[in-house]
Amino acid sequence: MVFFGGSGDLVTRKLLPSLYQCHKNNLLVGQGGIHCLGLEDYSQTEFVNFAREKARQFISGGEWDDAVWASFSRWLAYDRLDATQPEGYGVLQERLSRTLAEVNVFYLSTASFLFAPICENLARAGLIGANARVVLEKPMGHDLASSNAIAEAVSRYFLENQIYRIDHYLGKESVQNLIALRFGNTLFEPLWRREWIRNVQITIAEEVGIGTRSGFYDQAGALRDMVQNHLLQLLCFVAMEPPSSLKSSAVRDEKLKVLESLVEFSREDVYAKTVRGQYRPGISGGQPVGGYLEENDIPADSKTETFVAIKAEIANWRWAGVPFYLRTGKRMPERLAEIVINFRDVPHPIFPMTNGNTAHARLEIRLQPDEYIRLYFNAKPPGDTMELQQVYLDLNFAEKFKIRRPEGGYERLLLDVIRGNQALFVRQDEQEQAWRWVEPILNTWAADSTGPKTYTAGTWGPSAASALLSKDGFCWHEEE
């Protein structure tokens, strides 16, 4: 496995710790190695020590083992490489010639404008064989045209079945349990449709600000960074039809049908069905924090959105008329990712509620920080009245399954790349369709001089996000 950008934040904070865990659990077998390439001038020993210190920060205390790291680090190699210079690939060629690995995985943890030159230089060095695979990190371009240009450049050297467009949310246990819940049981299938579901809410909230990513984030914004990939992929798994099998082609065919069924936005739709926000100073994590415009290297007149809420609609028989509310933002009250399925009320309520309010049945699928599935419904508490109270059935993965759960999704996805399983990766036609749906929103916002609405750091975004649902007679479930 070869990491371009091998001394960068993603590799040292996420990918190497994930591979360490795979090694610790005896999931990496056979002959192979992990070769990191970067611009820093580390010696072999310096890089291993650097990687060790970074990894220890992101591996929970009970999971760290010095002896395991020592055996894992024997697989690590590092070389300085400018990925744009063809002459530098000789050292990689020489390294790979000494291994007995059956598959070479090239993981491009770099800016997407480097994808094309890296693939071209790998081809020139004769390193792309039939068993080579390439992993592409998001974002792939900044709009439909640039994404297609990158796809065309990479496809000159790799076939589609060799390309793995990674979305780490799809490696999370709860996403895979959503698939098992839907397609491994008959319980929910009769209810999983427009007749019984009021709305679907998908949220990815971050408590942190932009950190050190100002250069990237101010060019991307929340819509490109989170909606076009993570949120739309989660929507696909909620809304897709049952695939004929778990083969990657069958699963991805059904996801594509959902993306193709999303109702496209007119200019008027963008104003009526989307909200963009930007955080101003407030309290986050109990501490005062500055606003987005006060972050380092952010222009004082930046109109980049740090919050997005969208009402999406799917034009097919299963979902016609059911709104899908998508929401993501920085400087939210807490870090969480969740999918909430709100079911319809009974047609004629005959029971009072203990708090005087109607409580709606809902299925809550929490992706992070804890992973669980909860089914909320109404029940009668003990006593001599027939008032109802909301209760829930809880499947907490950590409590139910007394085995370690992979963190972050990368462990599962890295193993899938090695095994050649593409079911949880994004196919090019999916990528293209997602950009096609998002682009009218991008274009309308770019032409709107008013910019995003502001919201106080530590809150759930602008009030317009609540108004988006209240127009339909709904509210975000935490407001209920």
**The predicted structure's pLDDT at residue 31:** 75
Specify binding-site residues for substrate.
168, 172, 206, 225, 330
Is 108 in contact with 118 (CB distance < 8 Å)?
Answer: yes
**The predicted structure's pLDDT at residue 260:** 98
- Read off the pLDDT of residues 404-426 as tens digits, 9 standing for 90 and up: 566 668 999 999 999 999 999 99
Within-domain flag for 161: no
| Angle at which helices 428-446 and 248-261 cross, to 10° | 30
Q: Average pLDDT in the 436-449 region?
A: 96
Within-domain flag for 154: no
Q: How far is CA 214 from CA 206, 211, 293, 298, in A?
A: 16, 7, 10, 6
Within-domain flag for 145: no
Q: Please, is 130 exposed, middle or buried when counting C-beta atoms within 10 Å of its C-beta (0-12, 13-18, 19+)?
A: exposed
**Residue % of the chain over a pLDDT of 70:** 96
Question: Given a cut of 90, is residue 111 above it in pLDDT?
Answer: no
**The predicted structure's pLDDT at residue 348:** 83
Is 305 in contact with 223 (CB distance < 8 Å)?
Answer: yes
**The predicted structure's pLDDT at residue 254:** 96
State the pTM of this model. Answer: 0.92
Banded model confidence at residue 397, pLDDT cuts 50, 70, 90: low
Domain co-membership, 175 together with 124:
no
Helix intervals (H) in 338-404: 397-400
Catalytic residue among 23, 35, 230, 360: 230
Order of strands, edge to edge, in the sheet holding 2-4?
A: 76-80, 34-38, 2-4, 104-108, 132-136, 163-165
Is 215 in contact with 297 (CB distance < 8 Å)?
Answer: yes
Distance CA 132, CA 165 (A): 15
- Read off the pLDDT of residues 181-198 as tens digits, 9 standing for 90 and up: 889 889 888 999 999 999
What's the CATH code of the domain at 132? 3.40.50.720
Domain co-membership, 100 together with 175:
no
Question: Given a cut of 80, is residue 396 above it in pLDDT?
Answer: no
Nearest partner of 7 among 358, 16, 437, 342, judged by Cα: 16
Beta strands in 72-123 (DSSP E): 76-80, 104-108
Number of domains in the chain: 2
Banded model confidence at residue 356, pLDDT cuts 50, 70, 90: low
Domain co-membership, 70 together with 190:
no
Domain co-membership, 82 together with 208:
no
- Domain ranges, residue 386: 170-405+428-479
Domain co-membership, 109 together with 218:
no
Peptide bond into 440 cis (omega under 30): no
Domain co-membership, 179 together with 132:
no
Distance CA 386, CA 391 (A): 15
Residue 444 in 3-state DSSP?
Answer: helix
Distance CA 275, CA 120 (A): 41
Within-domain flag for 442: yes
Is 228 in contact with 438 (CB distance < 8 Å)?
Answer: yes
Domain co-membership, 115 together with 219:
no
Banded model confidence at residue 215, pLDDT cuts 50, 70, 90: confident
Within-domain flag for 460: yes
Question: Given a cut of 70, is residue 403 above it in pLDDT?
Answer: no
Q: Average pLDDT in the 81-110 region?
A: 87
Domain co-membership, 321 together with 433:
yes
Within-domain flag for 423: no
Q: Average pLDDT in the 360-369 region?
A: 89
Banded model confidence at residue 453, pLDDT cuts 50, 70, 90: very high
Contacts of 330 (CB under 8 A, 6+ apart): 206, 208, 209, 210, 222, 279, 292, 306, 307
Distance CA 475, CA 360 (A): 12
Instruction: Specify the residue for token string 């970074």.
Output: 54
Distance CA 250, CA 235 (A): 17
Q: Please, is 149 exposed, middle or buried when counting C-beta atoms within 10 Å of its C-beta (0-12, 13-18, 19+)?
A: middle
Within-domain flag for 26: yes
Examine the residue annotation and report whether 35 is marked as an active-site residue of this protein. no
Domain co-membership, 195 together with 287:
yes
Residue 308 in 3-state DSSP?
Answer: strand
Domain co-membership, 329 together with 209:
yes
What's the CATH code of the domain at 200? 3.30.360.10
- Read off the pLDDT of residues 295-332 as tens digits, 9 standing for 90 and up: 999 999 999 999 999 999 999 999 999 999 999 999 99
Residue 283 in 3-state DSSP?
Answer: strand
Domain co-membership, 128 together with 206:
no
**DSSP per residue, 130-163:** TTEEEEEPSP--SSHHHHHHHHHHHHTTS-GGGE
Within-domain flag for 205: yes
**Residue % of the chain over a pLDDT of 90:** 66
Contacts of 247 (CB under 8 A, 6+ apart): 423
Distance CA 87, CA 263 (A): 48
**The predicted structure's pLDDT at residue 62:** 77
Is 245 in contact with 209 (CB distance < 8 Å)?
Answer: no
Exposure class string for 62-72: b at 16+ Cβ within 10 A, else e = eeeeeeebeeb
Distance CA 41, CA 57 (A): 23
Specify binding-site residues.
138, 168, 172, 206, 225, 330
Q: Average pLDDT in the 238-264 region?
A: 95
Nearest partner of 164 among 118, 119, 116, 105, judged by Cα: 105
Distance CA 190, CA 182 (A): 10
DSSP 377: E
Residue 39 in 3-state DSSP?
Answer: coil
Query: Which of 61-65, 174-178, 374-378, 399-403 has the highest average model confidence (pLDDT)?
Result: 374-378
**The predicted structure's pLDDT at residue 358:** 63
Which tokens in the block code for residue 473?
């007679």
Domain co-membership, 366 together with 444:
yes
**The predicted structure's pLDDT at residue 168:** 87
Specify binding-site residues for NADP(+).
138
